[in-house]
């Protein structure tokens, strides 16, 4: 096995553990980077820098991610690797988005889109359009987000990218909900669920289906169809329990409590929080803990 092949193997090993063990992945990527630089394996160095950018995003270290991605972009530009330039520019845009620097985020995303249009690869183009939609959504510019999501749909249909298409319809549903177009939001989330059901049957991706159903629950809640919303959330709880997805489970109990609060049912709202409380201690998410506390306070006021 050559030095380059050993480095490639090290990179693949690190990529496989990013989701569950990002610290281990980080250490492995750093070793791969040093080895690539030592043997002057330029492509391996660029790929490792790119992957370091990804893992630093997972770890929430956006400044370090930007530093590594800019180094990767410089090499990819020298290598004239257009697809990798597009992906790196998009990740840079995501980082600046997370930092709240929307002007820089838009600048990088637009560069990514310009290259994607020249590259003429449908999968890459659709992904960049979706990323731009996500950026505008985070800026609360829902009309622009909708525009880019819709632009990506016919491309994804053309290449039969079923998983991504389901996610885009989910994004469109949430966007239309924020635009107060509840009927259209309901239509989009119904399409998303139909797609995700078929995908789940083939690839067993229940969490993706559950997420879409939670969005449908939110829409039913907005339509004041409270019983329907609660029934949907109960279905979602079953999925998250099977998957042992504790963070998403807690978020669903919050959604259930919010429905009961809306119909002035303090008792059942409290029961929903009690049911979720057993899982809160098993996750490290201050956002969830604070939301449980906030809703407890709301329920206490309701009982006065």
The predicted model scores a pTM of 0.80
pLDDT at 203: 55
pLDDT at 144: 97
pLDDT at 264: 95
Would you give per-residue pLDDT tens digits along the chain (304 residues)?
A: 899 999 999 999 999 998 778 899 999 999 999 999 999 999 999 999 999 999 999 898 999 999 999 999 999 999 999 999 999 999 999 999 999 999 999 999 999 999 999 998 999 999 999 999 999 999 999 999 999 999 999 999 999 998 889 889 999 999 999 999 999 999 999 999 888 887 766 656 787 888 889 999 999 999 999 999 999 999 999 999 988 888 889 999 999 999 999 999 999 999 999 999 988 888 767 788 899 999 999 999 988 7
On the 0-12 / 13-18 / 19+ scale of CB atoms within 10 A, 103 is exposed
pLDDT at 261: 96
């Amino acid at each position: 096995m050559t030095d380059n092949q050993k480095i490639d193997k090290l990179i693949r090993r690190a990529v496989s553990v990013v989701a569950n063990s990002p610290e281990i992945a980080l250490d492995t990527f750093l070793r791969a980077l040093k080895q690539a630089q030592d043997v002057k394996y330029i492509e391996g160095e660029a790929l490792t820098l790119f992957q370091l950018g990804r893992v630093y995003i997972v770890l929430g270290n956006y400044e370090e991610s930007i530093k590594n991605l800019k180094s990767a972009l410089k090499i990819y530009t020298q290598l004239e690797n257009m697809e990798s330039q597009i992906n790196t520019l998009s990740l840079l845009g995501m980082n600046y988005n997370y930092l709240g620097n929307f002007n820089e985020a838009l600048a990088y995303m637009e560069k990514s889109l310009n290259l994607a249009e020249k590259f003429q690869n449908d999968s890459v183009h659709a992904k960049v359009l979706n990323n731009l939609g996500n950026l505008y959504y985070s800026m609360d510019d829902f009309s622009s987000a909708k525009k880019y999501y819709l632009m990506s749909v016919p491309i994804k249909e053309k290449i039969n990218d079923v998983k991504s298409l389901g996610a885009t319809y989910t994004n469109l549903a949430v966007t239309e909900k924020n635009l107060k177009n509840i009927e259209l939001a309901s239509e989009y989330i119904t399409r998303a669920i139909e797609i995700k059901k078929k995908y789940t049957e083939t690839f067993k991706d229940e969490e993706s289906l559950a997420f879409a159903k939670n969005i449908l629950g939110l829409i039913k809640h907005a339509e004041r169809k409270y019983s329907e919303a609660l029934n949907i959330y109960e279905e979602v709880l079953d999925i998250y329990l099977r998957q042992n997805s504790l963070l998403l489970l807690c978020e669903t109990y919050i959604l259930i409590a919010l429905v009961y609060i809306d119909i002035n049912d303090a008792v059942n709202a409290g029961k929903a929080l009690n049911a979720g409380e057993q899982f809160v201690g098993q996750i490290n998410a201050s956002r969830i803990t604070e939301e449980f506390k906030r809703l407890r306070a709301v329920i206490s006021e309701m009982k006065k």
